[in-house]
Amino acid sequence: MSAHRVAVFLPADFSLFEVAVAVEVFGVRRPEIEVEWYDVKLCTVEPGPATAHGDLLGAIVPHGLEAIDAADTVIVPRCATQESPADERALAAIRRAHFRGARLASFCDGAFVLAAAGVLDGRKATTHWKYAERLAAEYPRVQVSPEVLYVDEGQVLTAAGTASGVDLALHMVRADHGAHVARQVARSMVVPPHRDGGQAQFVMSAVPDGGETEDGVHRALAYMSHHLDSEYSLTDMAKLAFMSTRNFSRRFREATGTTPGRWLLHQRLTRARELLEETDLPIERIAQITGFGSAVTFRQRFAQSLKTSPTTYRRAFRGLSEANSVSLEDESSELRTLRVV
């Protein structure tokens, strides 16, 4: 039984911040957190001397690509060298990891490395808004969603800008260990556990020009996430945004990368998970609060996307927080695969 292994891939000249984000979240052991923490290795094609930001800093990278081969999660932070394509040996290692079933994540323009490795083909992905257009042009098989903080495609995750790496990293911790642990990490880093008040994944990012905060879609999103109990048909949502249903669907997809229905379901499930983890409310009540018509539909949709029942889910997390890292590996690796589509 061993800890979840995280390999952070560095190009020959790397960018400090994104690497620091990965190290801060996955590499720092926090005594108050009582689950077995990640085992982080920084690696590169040729281990040894490397630089950060040109001549700003020299560093020694201890591991080679074998760290990728041994990892459960591979993180590709910003590659900083936009001109030169990634090393073919690194791409091959990433491909191997992918076929092996490892989880891959990129921050910022690290998405280009994943795209070059081919693991984004046919998937949704995001990158820094500055590069979104180029990513889509160079890799037409990648469905680029430029306006989200991050995209979770299950085994392949991509974060948009620099700081949204924090959001994605916390999201992964949440998937692995639950909202409670993610919150502890966030608290220790003094960042909000979830941008936009506890809602998930498809929050709009700070994209420069579309920055009208009073945009109809955003208003509808904000309203619904604060009034999650209650049902919303497509027509209702369109009314909240003062738009026709057709236009609303269109604007919605642009702003969030998903469809209204899927977004709503995802919001409801995320909230339900939090309630399961943090409260003793009966399933019936949670179903009501999170806007599922009945406990039956709640259980059904929950099982459909998380592959467990609400009660099992709750029990798994309760077990985790009470048992001090005993037999955590099995449960956490099971939970690791839980994800919302």
Partner DNA sequence: CCAGCGATCCGCCACG
Partner DNA sequence: GCCGTGGCGGATCGCT
Binding site for DNA (CB under 7 A): 233-235, 243-247, 249-251, 253, 259-262, 293, 296-297, 300-301
On the 0-12 / 13-18 / 19+ scale of CB atoms within 10 A, 57 is exposed
| Nearest to DNA of 63, 253 (CB atom) | 253
| Nearest to DNA of 264, 275 (CB atom) | 264
Structure tokens at 12: 């020959």
SS3 per-residue string spanning 232-296: CCHHHHHHHCCCCHHHHHHHHHHHHCCCHHHHHHHHHHHHHHHHHHHCCCCHHHHHHHCCCCCHH
Q: Report, in Å, the least distance between residue 243 CB and DNA.
A: 4
Q: How far apart are the C-alpha atoms of 134 and 184, rounded to whole Å?
A: 37
Q: 145 near 122, Cβ under 8 Å?
A: no
Q: Report, in Å, the least distance between residue 43 CB and DNA.
A: 38
| Nearest to DNA of 235, 327 (CB atom) | 235
Residue from 132, 189, 190 nearest 158 by CA: 132
| Nearest to DNA of 38, 292 (CB atom) | 292
| Nearest to DNA of 82, 233 (CB atom) | 233
Q: Report, in Å, the least distance between residue 209 CB and DNA.
A: 11
Q: Report, in Å, the least distance between residue 265 CB and DNA.
A: 8
Q: How far apart are the C-alpha atoms of 224 and 208, rounded to whole Å?
A: 24
Can you say how many angstroms the Cα of residue 115 is from the centroid of all Cα atoms in its chain?
Answer: 17
Q: Report, in Å, the least distance between residue 220 CB and DNA.
A: 12
Q: Report, in Å, the least distance between residue 93 CB and DNA.
A: 34
Residue 233: partners with Cβ closer than 8 Å, 6 or more residues away: none
Residue 90: partners with Cβ closer than 8 Å, 6 or more residues away: 9, 45, 65, 68, 113
| Nearest to DNA of 297, 311 (CB atom) | 297
